[in-house]
Amino acid sequence: MNVAYPNLITLRKLLVISCVMFGFGYALVPFYKKICEVTGINNVVKADTVENTQVDAARFVTIEFDSNVRGNLPWTFRPLQVQMRIHPGELNTVMYEIGNPTNHAITAQAIPSYGPQLAARYFRKLECFCFTQQTLAPGAVKQMPVVFVIDRELPQDVNTITLSYSFFEIEGSAKKDG
């Protein structure tokens, strides 16, 4: 019997394991997304629902609005209002404006973030331009609302929340559309 034969079988098995583990690395990607979805982490760009709309009129919270464009995205982007003073539980609307001063259409995606980070899960967005990608024709200007409710469970020591959006260009959209 060829002595090397059992070695070749072991070699084959171990090669299969390493290929499977290479695939496993990629399988972690959808797995990770699913975990985030199930546990509700990271659902920043999905619409929230609000059941209890009782307003806590005894309490004021200041909401500050911030806007950024990232990388080489040549857009203008600003909130029409820098801050507002609201009650938890109240339904509020703030307008943001984006403009595309270039001569070609560009698609971009906004990602929200919150300060303090803790406030994120009490900030319920019912409507937001960040739920979808935005495409602007050359020279277009667009005003977009964000409708939100601050959960009444917001910890007492949080009196100011900053809502900050960053617009990221979707790679290749300028070439494709322009």
Residues of the shown chain interacting with another protein in the complex, contacts defined by CB under 8 A: 6-7, 10-11, 14-15, 17-19, 21-26, 28-29, 32, 36, 39, 41-42, 70, 108-109, 111, 117, 168-172
Q: What minimum distance in Å lies between the beta carbon of 132 and another protein? A: 12
Terminal C-alpha separation, the chain: 68
Q: What minimum distance in Å lies between the beta carbon of 92 and another protein? A: 26
Q: What minimum distance in Å lies between the beta carbon of 107 and another protein? A: 10
Closer CB to another protein, residue 6 or residue 155? 6
Q: What minimum distance in Å lies between the beta carbon of 21 and another protein? A: 4
Closer CB to another protein, residue 45 or residue 147? 45
Closer CB to another protein, residue 108 or residue 149? 108
Closer CB to another protein, residue 56 or residue 151? 151
